[in-house]
Amino acid sequence: MQYRTLGRTGVQVSTLALGAMNFGAIGRTTQEEATAVVDAALEAGVNLIDTADWYGEGQSEEMVGKAVAGRRDDIVLATKATMPMGGRNRQGGSRRWICTALDDSLRRLGVDHVDLYQMHRWDPTTGDEETLSALTDLQRAGKIRYFGSSTFPAYRIVQAQWAAREHRLSRYVTEQPSYSMLQRGIEAHVLPVTEEYGMGVLAWSPLASGWLSGAVRKGRDVATHRSGVLPERFDPSLPHNQARYDAVERLAEVADEAGLTLIQLALGFVNAHPAVTAALIGPRTVDHLRSQLAAADTVLPADVLDAIDEIVAPGTDLAPGEKFDTPPALLDASLRRRR
């Protein structure tokens, strides 16, 4: 396992980090399976585990808490808030909700603090000063060590950094964006910003929701967990999916020629970017985990990275409709028309 410094925090984290979204209802992973995955990950040298209150409405946090019991000091523990947890004011970035949400997360995790507390999404209804002041107070109270953002548009990352300096508050030290060989849009805007501010980057969905797992290939029936939940994302009759199927076939050829699995190519690609600290893998089973841990020491040479660039151009998203950092005004016509 390789390790990198998380932004400018001085904290060393493994370049493959364990994402726990599949623990519980979302991935139907049981407590026994989750504990086995955590055991195998820690044994392999993984030292960062990332979860969120929203995953299974708290189930993931509870399962992570049970799995890491007695080993807290060996783990960089990260969780998130802001997504809806039932009720009008049980979401977002207000001080009222963040303080409550963190206490709920700490209780479910069975710990007295988390190392990294992340705002799961940007909340357009709450000012940066409101959120950052609450997070700064929670940090000073010892309940969180650092805090970060997740899936923020580049301009919101910049705005939050400015607000922290303007109001003399602690700042976001990490960003967690979606990044893979098929979704490279952040190379054009987010990653230059995180590099400018010295932020750590934890890349989620490096296997592109299963597209780069090796199980999604042209002319084959797709039978993954994700395809069962969101079949339209894998429908070969849709034009944007056709482009992805074509790209996956070509990327698989690159992997074969390099003597790698498609998973190794995908994870090696994400960790090759100098702005990325770690790729977040989200296995449902120990077998899935082992297939991804095989990329722990993968270093892609320049000619392989060049071949990937020829298939999916830098800064390009092959599924722009699946982005989660779109400004609200692009989705709601009323927000771009004068009242």
Q: Which of 3, 55, 117, 155 is catalytic?
A: 55
Q: Tell me how crowded residue 293 is: count the other CB atoms within 10 A of its CB.
A: 22
Residue 83 lies in a domain: yes
Whole-number pLDDT of residue 319: 81
Residue 212 lies in a domain: yes
For residue 97, what are the domain limits?
3-329
What CATH number should be reported for the domain holding residue 244?
3.20.20.100
Backbone φ and ψ for 232, nearest 5 degrees, come out as -65, -25
What digits encode the pLDDT tens for the residues 226-263?
655 666 677 777 777 888 999 999 999 999 999 999 99
Domain count, the chain: 1
Please report the sign of the dihedral spanned by the C-alpha atoms of residue 23, residue 96, residue 112, residue 157. positive
Residue 263 lies in a domain: yes
Residue 61 lies in a domain: yes
3 state SS of 11: coil
Average pLDDT for 111-126: 96
3 state SS of 319: coil
Residue 239 lies in a domain: yes
Residue 126 lies in a domain: yes
Nearest to 182 by CA among 203, 151, 208, 205: 208
Whole-number pLDDT of residue 158: 98
Please report the sign of the dihedral spanned by the C-alpha atoms of residue 221, residue 224, residue 227, residue 228. positive
The pTM of the whole model exceeds 0.85: yes
Nearest to 102 by CA among 69, 126, 136, 76: 136
Average pLDDT for 299-316: 96
Query: Residue 269 corresponds to which tokens in the numbers above?
Result: 């690609």
Residue 104 lies in a domain: yes
Rounded to whole angstroms, the Cα distance separating 65 from 328 reads 35
What digits encode the pLDDT tens for the residues 254-289?
999 999 999 999 999 999 999 999 999 999 999 999
Secondary structure (H, E, C), 272-303 = HCCCCCEEEECCCCHHHHHHHHCCCCCCCCHH
Residue type, 230: L
Q: Residue 88: which residues within 8 A CB-CB, separation 6 or more?
A: none
What's the chain's average pLDDT? 93
Rounded to whole angstroms, the Cα distance separating 275 from 302 reads 17
55 is catalytic: yes
Higher model confidence: residue 335 or residue 80? Answer: 80
H or E segment to which residue 140 belongs: helix 128-140
Residue 335 lies in a domain: no
Residue tagged 């409709």 (tokens): 321
